Amino acid sequence: MTLPVGLDVTGRRVVVVGGGPASASGVSTLLAAGALVEVVAPYVCEELAVLVASGEVAWAPRDYEGRHDLDGAWLVHTASGDREVDDAVRADALDLRVWCLAATAADSTAHLPATTSVAAGDVTLTVAAHTGFDPALATAVVRQVGAVLASGSLDLRRRTPRPGSGWVALVGGGPGADGLLTTRGRELLSVADVVVVDRLAPQGVVDRLPANVRVVDVGKAPGRHTIPQDEINALLVEEALAGRAVVRLKGGDPYVLGRGGEERQACEAHGIPVEVVPGVTSAVAVPAAAGIPVTHRGVARGVTIVTGHDELPAVPNGTDHTVVLLMGVGRLARSAEALVAAGRPGSCPVARLSPDHPQPLEVAHL
């Protein structure tokens, strides 16, 4: 029976006996854990030679000479390729009460499990599996468990208070369909304490959040802006400074007419870490769902995305350039007049689309 225990080898001496590829794999793992690694071997393989040349690994270019080579070691790894040498190292480690990672699991007093790490907000989760004599099975298990953790389907919120301030993630929710939210977006939602949500964010994803997640609806609709942008900025700052993990879940992409830049600046002005997760913008996703490519060889060679709330800026007036008006229903007639006045022909095809409908609501001409 193996007791699963994590060893903190940061800044501690670990001796590796053997300089071949089997040792190189163990050395890489030990270095990643912060160990001070010394290799004892008459030669080293190319991978270890690079680490030695860079100063990351110390090298004693000789054969193993006995237990004095293990003085001051917290852990020893032996994979010399010589059974007698490995047995001697293991015996000396036992006498010195130093844990030993041997070339074969049966000879080891310590074991390196297969591991994978998943970033869960400001916490990194490490999953380890040990199966004794079947390391390939252990590797397969941790990969599958890691995939589940990364999917965002599990509740990975902290169970202890977060020291200091929290963080904010501006997550693009895509054009509204749950399946078009990115994997990274789901990961961050699985660790969020507070979710500040827009009207066009994927509602199914929000509905499935655990009851202990506080959801704040700041959605805007035409003619109804219940919470001004300054107050939304202040809310993000307040929650993060209170030590909470905050996801600002938006429809589309945070930086495509989503005021994500303003929210990021507000948070960073208070020293709050901010991550931006791109989303599939409705400017291209909704036309695509309706069977309309915004660029197509021989038809449209470019696309301009503008807000329909204001007077239209100058846009290319040829029919080979697509213009996408977001939030443009209220000024649609005036926008059409402006496009024609700027030189776009009245024969230019127009489609009125909605994220709620897979087919165009209307197809006409200017």
User: Which helix (H) or strand (E) element contains residue 172?
Assistant: strand 167-172
What's 114's DSSP letter?
A: E
* Known catalytic residue at 193: no
For 118, phi then psi, to 5°, come to -130, 125
Q: Which residue from 92, 88, 86 is spatially nearest to 105, judged by alpha carbons? A: 86
Query: What SS3 class is residue 246?
Result: strand
Residue type, 329: V
The radius of gyration of the chain from alpha carbons, rounded to an integer in Å, stands at: 29
Let me know: does 303 contact 322? Beta carbons within 8 Å: yes
**What are 16's strand-pairing partners?**
39, 77
Both structure tokens of 335: 């926008």
> Which residues, at least 6 apart from 126, have a Cβ–Cβ distance to it below 8 Å?
115, 116, 117
Query: What SS3 class is residue 283?
Result: helix
Q: Which residue from 234, 202, 196, 235 is spatially nearest to 218, judged by alpha carbons? A: 196
Both structure tokens of 314: 């100058």
* Known catalytic residue at 250: no
Place of tokens 């977060």: 162
Q: Which of 220, 230, 250, 310 is catalytic?
A: 220
User: Which helix (H) or strand (E) element contains residue 207?
Assistant: helix 203-207
Q: Which of 69, 198, 250, 253 is catalytic?
A: 198
Both structure tokens of 331: 């000024």
Alpha-carbon gap, residue 133 to 211, rounded angstroms: 43
Residues with catalytic function: 198, 220
